[in-house]
Amino acid sequence: MKKSIFYHAGCPVCVSAEHDIIELLGSNNVEVVHFGEDTTRINEAEMAGVKSVPALVTPNGNVLHINFGASMADVKA
């Protein structure tokens, strides 16, 4: 199965959601991208339709915005 991608920015809401998602999906099924550690992935996430973090992009390309940690504008600030 193609992996889901979990985008986050290290905020408390993000970290909590990351734990939940990894527990639910299994760590082998999720790639975790932390914008604070890799700003080069921000553009890719926006192209995928990510409007806020934390967000999960599913293998078929749907974006699930989970709770609300920060907008993409905040991430880039």
Return the range that interacts with its own copies (CB under 8 A); candidates 35-43, 59-67, 69-77: 59-67
Q: How far is the CB of 50 from its own copies (least distance, A)?
A: 12
Q: What are phi and psi of 75, to 5 degrees?
A: -60, -35
- Between the CA of residue 76 and those of 17, 45, 73, what are the distances in Å? 20, 12, 5
End-to-end CA distance of the chain: 35
71 scored as a contact of its own copies (CB under 8 A): no
Give the H/E segment covering residue 47.
Answer: helix 42-48
Nearer to its own copies by Cβ, of 36 and 64: the residue is 64
Considering beta carbons, is residue 26 or 40 the nearer one to its own copies? Answer: 26
Pick the binder of its own copies from 27, 39, 58, 71 (CB under 8 A).
58
Q: Does 23 bind its own copies (CB under 8 A)?
A: yes
